[in-house]
């Protein structure tokens, strides 16, 4: 208290000056129309700038949520397109039993959202870590997609995190086909440009063009059919010359990847169990 009184006693003339200035400004703006309008205009502009800055900050804080929603919507739109295409095919001609099974598997699809924790694109065997794991319903050998296309397969899981084996890994082999046909092969990556992969084992009698869409074939329990992978960028021959080797421009830009969704198919565990039993019989 004594320090406050000493401060006032030392600077009282400045305090009186500030108070008188405040009273004079108040009288100036209160009783003079021109100055009053200037004050209101300046105050309105300042408040508007503060509100705009607040709105921009709120938009920035909700970008992650919006990006996650857009990712899910893009994936759902891709599946809806594939389903509509198959429905048209069913109406125009008799579909095979395999086609009907694949169409039914789309209906059992569930997407589990996750965010990228760590990522790399410069190695030959890249890995991705996401912030979702067993507690979120994720287990090994589940497919991973994003809003633009295919990402990879779940390789390892813990309670709250998972490691993904992406397309940009030399051990990645995913069955893919040319959209609108039944010609399929295996998508691999040679460790070069992260924007391109190779689709091997396309038969010599297949007919296709540069720019044709490459999608998942559905010939596994990991991915349903019709997930967009990329487009044919160049056509070459396999090492033995018995099949085509296509260069595919990937739809997923792994350098900017932030949000993904893990594909949980309704009957995937049952299918995987049957496949494992079949493999054990073949080994005998």
DSSP bridge partners of 77: none
Question: If we measure between CA atoms, which residue out of 5, 13, 268, 6 comes closest to residue 154?
Answer: 268
95 pLDDT tier (thresholds 50, 70, 90)? very low
pLDDT over 70 (residue 61)? no
Domains by residue range for the chain, with CATH: 2-61 (no CATH), 67-279 (2.40.10.350)
CB-count exposure of residue 171 (10 Å: 0-12, 13-18, 19+): exposed
Give the per-residue pLDDT at 129: 94
Span 76-101, average pLDDT: 55
In whole angstroms, give the CA distance from residue 276 to residue 150: 25
CB-count exposure of residue 73 (10 Å: 0-12, 13-18, 19+): exposed
Note the pTM of the prediction, 2 decimals. Answer: 0.62
Q: pLDDT tens across 27-58, in order?
A: 666 766 666 666 666 666 676 566 667 656 66
Q: pLDDT tens across 102-112, in order?
A: 444 445 578 88
Q: pLDDT tens across 204-260, in order?
A: 988 889 999 999 988 877 888 888 899 999 999 988 888 899 999 999 999 888 888
96 pLDDT tier (thresholds 50, 70, 90)? very low
Give the per-residue pLDDT at 43: 65
Question: If we measure between CA atoms, which residue out of 132, 137, 122 comes closest to residue 254?
Answer: 122
């Amino acid at each position: 208290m004594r320090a406050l009184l000493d401060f006032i006693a030392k600077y009282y003339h400045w305090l009186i000056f500030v108070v008188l200035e405040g009273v004079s400004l108040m009288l100036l703006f209160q009783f003079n129309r021109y100055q009053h309008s200037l004050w209101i205009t300046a105050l309105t502009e300042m408040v508007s700038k503060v509100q705009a800055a607040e709105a921009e900050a709120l938009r920035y804080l909700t970008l992650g949520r919006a990006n996650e929603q857009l990712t899910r919507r893009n994936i759902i739109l891709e599946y809806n397109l594939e389903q509509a295409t198959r429905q048209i095919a069913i109406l125009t001609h008799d579909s095979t039993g395999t086609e009907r099974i694949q169409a039914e598997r789309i209906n059992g699809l569930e997407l589990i959202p996750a965010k990228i924790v760590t990522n790399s694109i410069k190695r030959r065997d890249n890995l991705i870590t996401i912030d979702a794991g067993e507690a979120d319903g994720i287990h090994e050998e589940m497919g991973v997609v994003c809003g633009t296309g295919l990402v990879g397969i779940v390789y390892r899981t813990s309670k709250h995190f998972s490691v993904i084996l992406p397309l940009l890994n030399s051990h990645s082999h995913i069955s893919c086909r040319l959209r609108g046909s039944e010609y399929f092969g295996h998508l691999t990556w040679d460790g070069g440009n992260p924007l391109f992969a190779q689709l091997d084992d396309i038969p010599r009698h297949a007919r296709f063009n540069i720019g044709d869409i490459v999608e998942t074939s559905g010939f596994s329990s990991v991915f349903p059919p019709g997930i967009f992978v990329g487009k044919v960028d160049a056509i070459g021959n396999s090492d033995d010359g018995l099949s085509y080797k296509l260069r595919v421009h990937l739809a997923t830009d792994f350098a900017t990847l932030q949000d993904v969704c893990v594909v949980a198919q309704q009957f995937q565990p049952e299918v995987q169990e049957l496949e494992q039993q079949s493999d054990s019989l073949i080994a005998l």
